[in-house]
Amino acid sequence: MSEFLSTNIPKFTSAFSAIAIFFIVLGLIFTIAGRANGKKARPIALVIFLAPALLLMLAGVVIPGIRTILFSFMNPDSNEFIGLGNYQWMLEDPNIKTIMINTILWILVVPLFTAALGLLLAVMLDRIKHESIPKSLLFMPMAISFVGASIIFKFVYEYNEPGDVQIGLLSAVVEFFGLTPSDWMLSKPLNTFLLMIIYVWTQMGFGMVILSAAIKGVPSDIVEASALDGAHGWRLFRNITFPMVKGTFVVVLATGVVGALKVFDIVRTMTGGNFSTNVLANEMYSQTFVQFDQGKGSALAVVLFLLVAPILIYNIQSLRKERTH
């Protein structure tokens, strides 16, 4: 017990002293810099407010990003240029082909399901009493980590030999309907889709909540007027509701694409990327930290970045549009 305390109390001490030092330094800087007046006051304030963030982003994201691009043209130890070798490896390696197909499947299927299901539920929630209870329960998985969600679904996807008791919910349901369950994580290509379900399970609430807010923002007089004109059901949805929330729907889709591209925890926890379920982000980690090939790892990271790039450009364009209004 005393050994336990002596190793763990210093951890808290270090965290709290780090926080304390951080705020003391900040307070001192504020007090000293606050005395400056006249022409220098504004530039000094600007530097103090902005420089910490800019330096950290420069050292932590921008420069490393550029170095990763350079590393992608280098050997495993990043000390010799080898041209396009790592990219050529990607084109030729059959594993990478599977990985690319899976990654593309993820970014096609997952965002669409997340957004469509989110929209459906958002529309229906608007229609029922006591909506806050189902809303919170549907939203809850968003707070759970992908590792936690994967373990939850490990129990759902648990499989025993036929004849044994099925303790996995999926196997039991399949058996209930008179079918034969199989070892889910080994059955391709179904296993990839079962992994996607975990992602959709955690992220659907995001789409639902923001689409629900958007639907409540649709002006009621517009709805009222079109209802008087005889628009109901599907027609009302297609002609009035959906066009009004389309912008939000696109945001949900884009967020889904970025998230699905970077999915790593689920695949790593559930299958370790085996049984043809591997994806780009997991392979990047394996190449770098298991195979110790920084060249291939970096090249995979660059591909990941290139796949996100269109969304990045789209986001910037819509922000620019929004700002000029």
Footprint of another protein on 255-294 (CB under 8 A) = 255, 258, 261-262, 264-265, 268-269, 272, 281, 284-285, 288-289, 294
Minimum CB–partner distance for residue 208 and another protein (Å): 10
Q: Please report, as residue ranges, which positions from 114 to 173 form the binding site for another protein (by CB under 8 A).
A: 117, 121-129, 131, 133-134, 136-148, 150-156, 165-167, 169, 172
Q: Which residues contact 139 (CB under 8 A, 6 or more apart)?
A: 205, 206, 208, 209
Question: Would you list the DSSP string of 112-164?
Answer: HHHHHHHHHHHHHHTTSSSTHHHHHHHHGGGGS-HHHHHHHHHHHT----TTS
Q: Which stretch binds another protein (CB under 8 A): 86-94, 99-107, 187-195, 316-324?
A: 316-324
User: Could you tell me the smallest distance in angstroms from the CB atom of residue 87 to another protein?
Assistant: 16
User: Under the criterion CB under 8 A, does residue 81 sit at the interface with another protein?
Assistant: no
The span from the CA of 325 to the CA of 322, in Å, is 5
Give yes or no for residue 213 binding another protein (CB under 8 A): yes
CB 210 within 8 A of CB 119: no
For residue 306, the minimal CB distance to another protein (Å) is 10
- Residues 295, 75 contacting (CB under 8 angstroms): yes
Q: Does 101 bind another protein (CB under 8 A)?
A: no
Give least dist CB 54 to another protein, A: 7
Among all chains, which residue has been given the structure tokens 């103090």? 48
Nearest distance in Å: CB 227, another protein: 5
Counting residues that bind another protein (by CB under 8 A) gives 137
* Among 166, 271, 224, residue whose Cα is nearest residue 263: 271
**Under rule CB under 8 A, residue 105 binds another protein:** no
